[in-house]
């Protein structure tokens, strides 16, 4: 009876680990993981707790969370499968699996040893399968081990490719927005000699990167936990600049003089892409709560007037009724600002450092 329990338990552990690997690597969608996503969230909470200990440099500690998670996830797959096969093999020691010479040890450590060298395809040879069934199990475990190693390497390369592209996009926005979160500077730099026609392609490029950002974080949720000390790499900063750019286009520049640009599919896509990226990722990672933004509206209004001055100083014709434009801007901003703040705080950034441009006005 005990033998059956061990083998059923071992089979369950193997299937759980393999199913988690399947969902993580071959069917990568946020929320579809058995273990890995929960492991990621738990590890992030642990790193956040450590980062708040006295004398600890928060940014340094948190920057190690992402790489540590990749190691932890791959280690879980390997150790869980090795443990599962060890439980499966343990009752067969001395019968189905025997020592190549001398007496066969029958303790669990020996079973785990046999499982480990089979899984890693080392093939030590001091223990060998004695029956056809256990030869099949040995070959099966070796094949599973080779698959886990291959899948882990593929996953690691895919994550770092997506991370590099995310960082490149974030750094590009940072420099184009005046080395701070200033969408007004970015908007003024999008204008050509006469109008915003050349900007449509650039806005479309930003939208495409936002969509890639959303899909890459869906495919590889561990990306969310690569947290860098520089706030311009933060998802909250990317969302702020992109959505603030959309809000200024729709509320600050002259609606008749620049109507083709304002109503273009590029600008519509920018707003929708930014909102989708922000809200879909927040639904995956955050426990959203209601925030009172009433006390922020005066700051947003002052920021809007500052943006108007920046645009006018760069020769851009702005809306004539600035007060009505400010009201429209605040309406746009109210839809997404609280979620962006929540995302920043979840990743241990203060909103002051994320929204560095406008926070100078407070």
Clarify whether residues 107 and 188 are in a common domain: no
**Domain's final residue, options 120, 153, 186:** 153
Note the pLDDT of residue 289: 61
Phi-psi category of residue 293: left, alpha or beta, with phi > 0 → left and psi -120 to 50 → alpha: alpha
Residue 163 falls inside a structural domain: no
Predicted local confidence at residue 124, as pLDDT: 66
For a pLDDT cut of 90, what percent of the chain falls above it? Answer: 58
Question: In terms of Cα–Cα distance, which of 194, 180, 288, 292 is closest to 244?
Answer: 180
Look at residues 101, 121, 153 and tell me which one is the last residue of a structural domain.
Answer: 153
> Is the separation of the CB atoms in 173 and 238 below 8 Å?
yes
Q: Residue 130 falls within a domain, yes or no?
A: yes
Residues 246 and 286 in one domain: yes
Assess contact for 223 and 40: CB atoms under 8 A. no
Q: Which residues contact 171 (CB under 8 A, 6 or more apart)?
A: 232, 233
Type and span of the H or E element at 233: none
Q: What is the pLDDT of residue 52?
A: 92
Range of the domain at 68: 2-153
> Where residue 122 sits, what CATH number does that domain have?
1.10.287.70
pLDDT digits (tens, 9 = 90+) for 214-249: 999 888 889 999 999 999 999 999 999 999 999 999
Find the angle CA(83)-CA(96)-CA(76) to the nearest 5 degrees: 10
102/181 same-domain check: no
Q: What is the pLDDT of residue 294?
A: 66
DSSP 225: G
Both 50 and 116 in one domain: the answer is: yes
197 within domain boundaries: yes
**pLDDT for res 349:** 93
Which residues of the chain register pLDDT less than 50? none
Specify if 61 maps to a domain.
Answer: yes
Residues 239 and 135 in one domain: no
The predicted structure's pLDDT at residue 362: 58
Return the structure tokens found at 113: 């040893």
Q: What is the pLDDT of residue 97?
A: 87
User: Is 161 inside any structural domain?
Assistant: no
pLDDT of residue 292: 60
Residues 221 and 328 occupy one common structural domain: yes
Question: Residue 287's pLDDT is what?
Answer: 67
User: Do 72 and 143 share a structural domain?
Assistant: yes
291 part of a folded domain: yes
* In-domain check, residue 110: yes
Q: Is 350 left (phi over 0), alpha (psi -120 to 50) or beta?
A: beta
Q: Which of 275, 296, 268 is nearest to 339 (CA)?
A: 275
Question: Does 8 lie in the same domain as 128?
Answer: yes
* Averaged pLDDT score across all residues of the chain: 88
- 186 with 102, same domain? no
Task: Spell out the alpha helix ranges (H) of 220-296.
Answer: 235-251, 259-262, 265-285
- Are 67 and 213 members of one domain? no
Cα angle at 103 between 102 and 104, to 5 degrees?
Answer: 120
**Structural domains of the chain, count:** 2
Are residues 201 and 144 both part of a single domain?
no
Rounded to whole angstroms, how far apart are CA atoms 251 and 319? 7
Asked if residue 162 belongs to a domain, the reply is: no
**Are residue 104 and residue 213 in the same domain, yes or no?**
no
H/E element, 129: strand 127-129
304 contacts: CB under 8 Å, gap ≥ 6: 248, 251, 252, 325, 326, 329, 330
Strand partners, 127: 99
Q: What is the pLDDT of residue 359?
A: 67
Burial of 31 per CB tally in 10 Å (0-12, 13-18, 19+): exposed
């Amino acid at each position: 009876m005990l033998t059956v329990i061990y083998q059923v338990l071992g089979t369950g552990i193997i299937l759980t680990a393999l199913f988690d690997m399947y969902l993580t690597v071959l069917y990568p969608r946020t929320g579809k993981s058995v273990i890995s996503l929960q492991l990621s969230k738990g590890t992030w909470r642990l790193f956040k707790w450590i980062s708040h200990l006295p004398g600890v440099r928060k940014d340094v500690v948190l920057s190690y969370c992402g790489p540590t998670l990749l190691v932890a996830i791959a280690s879980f797959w390997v150790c869980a499968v090795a443990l599962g096969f060890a439980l499966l093999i343990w009752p067969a020691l001395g019968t189905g699996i025997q020592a190549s010479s001398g007496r066969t040890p029958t303790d669990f450590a020996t079973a785990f040893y046999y499982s480990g060298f089979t899984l890693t395809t080392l093939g030590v040879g001091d223990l060998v399968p004695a029956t056809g069934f256990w030869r099949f199990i040995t070959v099966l475990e070796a094949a599973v081990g080779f698959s886990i190693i291959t899948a882990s390497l593929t996953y690691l390369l895919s994550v770092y490719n997506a991370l590099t592209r995310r960082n490149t996009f974030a750094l590009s926005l940072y420099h184009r927005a005046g080395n701070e979160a200033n969408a007004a500077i970015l908007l003024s730099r999008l204008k050509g000699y006469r109008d915003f026609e050349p900007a449509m392609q650039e806005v479309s490029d930003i939208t495409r990167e936002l969509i890639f950002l959303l899909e890459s974080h869906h495919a590889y949720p561990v990306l969310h936990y690569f947290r860098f000390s520089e706030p311009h790499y933060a998802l909250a900063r990317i969302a702020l600049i992109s959505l603030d750019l959309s809000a200024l286009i729709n509320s600050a520049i002259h609606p008749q003089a620049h109507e083709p640009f304002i109503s273009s599919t590029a600008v519509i896509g920018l707003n929708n892409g930014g909102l989708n990226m922000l809200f879909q990722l927040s639904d995956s990672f955050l426990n959203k709560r209601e925030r009172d933004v009433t006390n922020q509206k005066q700051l947003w209004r002052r920021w809007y007037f500052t943006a108007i001055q920046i645009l006018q100083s760069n020769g851009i014709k702005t809306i004539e009724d600035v007060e009505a434009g400010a009201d429209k801007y605040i309406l746009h901003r109210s839809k997404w600002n609280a979620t962006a703040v929540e995302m920043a705080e979840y990743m241990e950034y203060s909103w002051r450092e994320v929204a560095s441009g406008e926070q100078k006005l407070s």
